[in-house]
Amino acid sequence: MQYNFDEIIPRKKTESVKWNLYGEDVLPFWVADMDFRSPKPVIDALESRVKHGVFGYPSEDQELKEIIKNRVLDLYNWEIKAEDIVLLPGVVNGFNLVIHALTQPGEKVLMQPPVYHPFLMAPQNAHAIRQDAPLTLNLDGSYTIDFDQFDEKIDEVTKLFLLCNPHNPVGRVFSKSELLKMANLCLRKNVFICADEIHSDMIFKGFQHVPIASLDHEIAQKTITLMAPSKTYNIAGLGCSFAIAQNSDLRDQLLKAKRGLMPGVNLLGLTAAKAAYQFGDEWLSQLMDYLEENWNTMITFLEQNLPLIKITPIEGTYLAWLDCRSLPLEKSPYEFFLEKAKLAFNDGKIFGPGGEGFIRLNFGCPRSMLLDGLNRMKAALDMIN
């Protein structure tokens, strides 16, 4: 079927944190929550389950594990077993759980800021220490890895590398060679890897997602991978994700840390995940085409109207990383656009070192809404010129 991503779906007064956090007159582009209706097979599956009328405790869903096992084989030629999969209520829960399971107080967790802000707080939740190996911002706005720095940052108390790939917020989809270099440095220094790959389905043309654990057996034995259908099919509120741990000892540590503290996936989350992975790819294909058109629309608008705002080239996700450091602003760009344009973005500084002067813009929305936002940005900046 043909999906209509131009449809405006009212979301105020629908328990949406995206639309309710700010005032009625504020247009939200902040949280990674798209404004599109989920795939029809997902909605149909949920309606069917609701009509059943009984919502008891769900059993461990072996069917979903088989679907995931077959999916990663088809997409990445990555052979896993159903028993390698641990179902979880969320990826943020997942990497916090991994840190609790694999580190001791005082040990270090390596990460690459500017990065998804819950990464930054996660080590201290387990009384571990955050260790930064910042990405390098190049003159063309792209980001690369300083491997010498990455190597130097790993010391005798570094226990875990927390990888974000595709990277949020800078939109990198790391190449196989980059992943191999990072993985081999971790292996050489006996550092575990936790890979947040939640945006692995949101890849633009010309790029390919490679799960770091799929590179070889030795890397897989040191890695726990986190994935989910939540961002891909816009079902984040249903709380379904999973970890893949091919090393049974790591998996046992994960399960031990989970006991009594973290629930399983709820019944409707399981229902939506199965329908999405089995029948949602037609919707996803059309979505990625629409997102690419949104991206091109935004690039053209900024080049023609707001040339002082530089945009990082995107390879994956639906999150634009905008460099506003050349704008003549007295306040942060986040504060300026919220106050003067009634636009809510993510403030770049929450993503850690290197984020100051940037904003993150979620362009997973109808194009008319995106253009409304861009025109508001232009109008606000015209007022100070």
253 contacts 44 by C-beta, under 8 angstroms: no
Does the bond joining 169 to the residue before it have cis omega, within 30 degrees of 0?
A: yes
pLDDT computed for residue 385 by the predictor: 74
Does the bond joining 307 to the residue before it have cis omega, within 30 degrees of 0?
A: no
Spans of the chain below 50 pLDDT: none
Give the CATH class of 44-279: alpha beta
In angstroms, the CA 47 to CA 275 distance is 12
Does the bond joining 28 to the residue before it have cis omega, within 30 degrees of 0?
A: no
Strand locations in the chain (E): 27-28, 85-88, 108-111, 129-132, 136-137, 143-144, 158-164, 192-196, 223-227, 241-244, 310-311, 319-323, 343-344, 346-347, 358-362
373 contacts 29 by C-beta, under 8 angstroms: yes
pLDDT computed for residue 197 by the predictor: 98
Q: What is the pLDDT of residues 234-286, one digit of tens each?
A: 999 999 999 999 999 999 999 999 998 899 999 999 999 999 999 999 999 99
Q: How many CB atoms lie within 10 A of CB 62?
A: 11
DSSP secondary structure code for residue 348 in this structure: G
Cβ neighbours for 80, distance < 8 A, ≥ 6 positions apart: 69, 72, 73, 244, 246
Sequence ranges of the domains in the chain: 17-38+281-382, 44-279
Q: What is the pTM of this model?
A: 0.97
pLDDT computed for residue 60 by the predictor: 85
N-term to C-term CA, the chain: 47
Angle subtended at Cα 18 by Cα 25 and Cα 343, rounded to the nearest 5 degrees = 40
CATH numeric code, 17-38+281-382: 3.90.1150.10
